Amino acid sequence: MKAGDVISVYSDIKGKCKKGAREFDGTKIFLGNGISTLSRKEIFSGLPRLRGIGIRMTEPIYLSPSFDNVLPSYLFLQNLPSAVVTHVLNPQPGEKILDLCAAPGGKTTHIAALMHDQGEVIALDKIANKVEKIKQNALLLGLNSIKAFCFDGTKALKLDEIEDTEGTPPFSPESFDRILLDAPCSGMGQRPNMACTWTLKEVTSYQPLQRKLFPVAVQLLKPGGTLVYSTCTVTLEENEEQVAWALSTFPCLQLQPQEPQIGGEGMMGAGLSGEQLRQLQRFDPSTTPLRDTDLETLRDARAEDMIRLANKDCIGFFIAKFLKWKSTSEKDPQK
């Protein structure tokens, strides 16, 4: 293979292909055709430090164009559910909003934009370089209402009122109008991801962390405020089971219908009622009937049917919306 050769690109699903192999009969998936920018010798002699474009794809199986650096001061590329979740939160100008796990800042900047940059958007993340990325995105998009802090979300609740942290974390109880808890998760809804080597233990490790973040979010939310919980995974234990746990643990929370409602209803198995499942949004790419569809039959489909189909052909995602109908300091009269 020389620079300029037309070549086919495959993904080695099980990671069994040996470096420099000239043939491979293992499990693989075709990704498309492209033109090599380097020779085979240049590629393999430069590993592992070699960086950049090795193959310029000319015929990818996914025909979506690249939006890199397209109007960067105006556009921020997001998956559909990631944009939907911010509309479900429905931030209003002048409000104080908390994005508890904010990096890389797509939802943070979307919140500020929906508020017309009027109000205060607090973004937290415990990894410093990710916080810098949030600040860079806010600056690039010209959003001044965003304040980003490098801070652990599980410690964002101020426990000592004597301590003066006005405007910076930790924060006083019931000080935010709306909170987005886009929780760290197993990310099983992201696709395509053909090189994942996670163990079952790693996949199941996120539920405890989410349950540490949830009480902080509930206590920081004002009575009458909105809490939106979301993940980019499809597991029952990180989604519907968390909703059932939250409703039983925090009597001050009530599940709410969502607008817009584009995804499907929640999954059975966590003890939620049919009405409660209908108030959730679950985006599940495995339910999209595209794999066995004859594309020729879609040419005569109505535009609204095509839009509906396209809206479901996205990453796996989950959204739940809660209303905090009373203060966390109030006692439940039924107890």
Distance CA 286, CA 89 (A): 26
CA distance 261 to 250: 25
Identity at 29, one-letter amino acid code: I
Q: Given the residues 150, 185, 232, 314, select the one marked as catalytic.
A: 232
- Location of structure tokens 């164009």: 65
What backbone phi and psi angles, to 5 degrees, belong to 180? -105, 120
For the chain, the maximum distance between any two Cα atoms, rounded to a whole number of angstroms, is 76
3-state class (DSSP) for residue 55: strand
229 and 243 Cβ atoms separated by less than 8 Å:
yes
Give, for 122, the enclosing helix (H) or strand (E). Answer: strand 120-125
In the residue annotation, 185 being an active-site residue is answered as no
Q: Which of 133, 135, 130 is nearest to 121 (CA)?
A: 135
User: 73: helix, coil or strand?
Assistant: coil
How many C-beta atoms lie closer than 10 Å to residue 124's C-beta? 25
Distance CA(229)–CA(145), nearest Å, equals 22
Cα 82 to Cα 110: distance, rounded to the nearest angstrom = 10
CB under 8 Å to 39, separation ≥6 — which residues? 1, 2, 3
In three-state secondary structure terms, 120 is: strand
Cα pseudo-dihedral 228, 95, 167, 159, rounded to 10: -50
Residues flagged as binding site = 101-107, 125, 152, 182
168, 96, 167, 104: which is closest to 140 by C-alpha? 104
- DSSP β-bridge partners for residue 317: 283
Enzyme catalytic residues:
232
